[in-house]
Homo-oligomer: A and B are copies of this chain.
Amino acid sequence: MKGLKEQILGSVRQDVDDIEVALTENLQPHLPLVSQVAKYIMFSGGKRIRPLLMVLSARLCGYKGDYDKTLSVVFEYLHAATLLHDDVVDDADVRRGNPVAHSIWGAPATVLVGDFLLARSIAIAAETDSVPIIDVLAHTTAQMSEGEIHQLLHRGDLATGETDYMEIIGRKTAFLIQSACRVGALLAEAPAEQVEALSEYGYSLGISFQMADDLLDYTADTAVLGKPIGTDLKEGKLTLPIICALQRATQEDRSRMEIIVRDTDVTEKDFEAVVELIRQYGGIEYTMERAQEHIDQAKKRLNIFEPSQTRTLLEQLADYVLVRQV
């Protein structure tokens, strides 16, 4: 499936290059430290999937203006702000193979640079003079923080079910991707039907994106992932693979898993035992299936658009979510 990645990259190279330039140009901090921390988090291997989805959504709706690249950075800034705050919240050590920002600059500066990025995003959005666009962003930001709090409250909570999980990943991941697609359509002043179709495409893609991410935490290579696998389990985050396995397991196996989840010091051996049980009860497969369903739904939403190179690219991006390794 490596061909798919190459194919996508070939088609979006110019867009990604423009987005990279816009990311630096629009930061505009007064203090060098803000720039350092923001760039550290933003230029350490992100794939620019969110800005790219905004730019492609606008293009699919026939946008011909020149504000798309500038506006698209908002989705990378908001994402970066969340990463900075999350790493403080989770007290993480490593992200994408690098030490987390707060281990270099301290939690205070990291929290404040996150605040700056949130604020800068809204300021850039305000320059569109479009209240619907600003509105989408403000609501998305509120939802994202509530998603994170929801996850925090469910940490280590063995009663976390699939419904909770769906609500958490909806708020913390899918809403931002949805709003990137929605804002693209709004920027193009697309008819309501197209705005809704792209919003739903984005939401479903976002759900799959997070499910794939949660799977990687159980299945990936540490070297490829850039952080130790099993991190979610160690942080007490119950994601779909283990939620599924806990529901299907015998009382005995359930107890074994519960003990490990409750343990704050998960050893390599414990982790392997949990992965083995998750596999045995089909938790990996189930998560893959759910993610595939959402990808299929996402692609179906694009049917209202005429076939075009951009539509094909958005379909390919949806497929890519499930085969990516990092």
Q: Which residues of A contact B (CB under 8 A)?
A: 29-31, 33-34, 85, 88-90, 107-109, 111-116, 118-120, 122-123, 125-127, 129, 131, 134-135, 137-139, 141-142, 144-146, 148-150, 152-153
Other-chain contact of A145, B112, B148, B152 (Cβ < 8 Å): B112
| CB atoms of A123 and B145 under 8 A apart | no
| CB atoms of A111 and B89 under 8 A apart | yes
Other-chain contact of A149, B89, B90, B109, B137 (Cβ < 8 Å): B109
- The interface residues of chain B lying within 8 Å CB-to-CB of A127 are 135
Residue of B nearest to A84 (CB): B111
| CB atoms of A89 and B112 under 8 A apart | yes
Q: Give chain B nearest CB distance to A237 CB in angstroms.
A: 13
A-B residue pairs in contact (CB < 8 Å), sample of 10: A29-B146, A34-B149, A85-B112, A88-B107, A89-B112, A107-B107, A113-B145, A115-B145, A125-B138, A129-B131
Residue of B nearest to A122 (CB): B138
| CB atoms of B113 and A142 under 8 A apart | no
Given A34-B146, A89-B111: A138 and B153 interface contact (C-beta under 8 Å): no
Rank and list the top 10 A-B pairs by shortest CB-CB distance, nearest first.
A119-B141, A119-B142, A89-B108, A123-B138, A115-B145, A122-B138, A116-B145, A126-B135, A112-B149, A126-B134
| CB atoms of A118 and B118 under 8 A apart | yes
A219 to B90, CA, bound (A): 40
A118 to B145, CA, bound (A): 10
Other-chain contact of A118, B88, B89, B115, B126 (Cβ < 8 Å): B115
Q: Give chain B nearest CB distance to A211 CB in angstroms.
A: 22
| CB atoms of A142 and B116 under 8 A apart | yes
Taking A115-B144, A122-B141 as known contacts, 15 extra A-B pairs with beta carbons closer than 8 A to each other, sorted by chain A number, are A31-B150, A33-B149, A33-B153, A34-B149, A88-B108, A88-B111, A89-B108, A89-B111, A109-B149, A115-B141, A115-B145, A116-B149, A119-B141, A126-B134, A126-B138
